[in-house]
């Protein structure tokens, strides 16, 4: 495949550019349906316009404390093999050692998930729509000092061939 020409990119003016996750929604990947080889539809503008979900299933909201969730991605490129892909990492903090948090952790622990986040700018991003996102690390406990976290930090990791785009 031939490489495409580089496209022009206008300078961003900085309006409405506050970082952070406002809302989190999650679903098990098995509750998504593949249609024409994909679990989602892309608009002519290249944005996700629809996610195909099994009837009677839905993304569930996950309550967040302020500034406790982040979605990052990193390019992995191998010049010797000509391959490249994105590693996506979503980190979430659950405060307190509650039965509800334990149940949530157990529900995501051993299966692929898909994640949709709404940022503080009002844009939506998705990860794991290809079945590659899963819980890869869990750390937590009671903390030592008064201001320490009592709870868990969950890290979900996945891969994709595309840079994350808004939906």
Pairing of the two strands 60-62 and 40-42: unpaired
Q: Taking 60 as the threshold, does the pLDDT of residue 167 lie above it?
A: no
Mean pLDDT, residues 94-123:
94
Model confidence pLDDT, tens digit, residues 21-62: 999 999 999 999 998 888 988 887 878 888 989 999 999 999
This prediction's pTM: 0.87
Q: Where are the domains of the chain?
A: 21-160
144 C-beta neighbours (distance < 10 Å), count? 7
**Among residues 55, 66, 1, which one has the least CA distance to residue 32?**
55
pLDDT of residue 4: 79
Model confidence pLDDT, tens digit, residues 141-157: 998 888 888 899 999 99
Confidence at 102, pLDDT banded by 50, 70, 90? very high
């Amino acid at each position: 495949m031939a490489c495409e020409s580089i496209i022009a990119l206008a300078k961003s003016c900085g309006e409405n550019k506050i970082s952070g996750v406002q809302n989190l929604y999650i679903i098990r990947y098995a509750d998504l349906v593949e249609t024409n080889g994909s679990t989602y539809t892309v608009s002519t503008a290249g944005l996700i316009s629809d996610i195909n979900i099994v009837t009677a299933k839905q993304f569930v909201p996950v309550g967040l404390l302020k500034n406790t969730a982040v979605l990052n991605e990193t390019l992995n490129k191998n010049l010797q093999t000509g391959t490249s892909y994105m590693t996506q990492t979503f980190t979430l903090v659950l405060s307190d050692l509650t039965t509800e948090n334990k149940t949530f952790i157990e529900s995501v622990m051993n299966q692929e998930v898909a994640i949709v986040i709404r940022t503080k700018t009002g844009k939506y991003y998705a990860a794991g729509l290809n079945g590659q996102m899963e819980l890869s690390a869990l750390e937590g406990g009671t903390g030592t000092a008064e201001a320490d976290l009592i709870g868990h930090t969950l890290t979900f990791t996945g891969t994709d061939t595309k840079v994350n785009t808004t939906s």
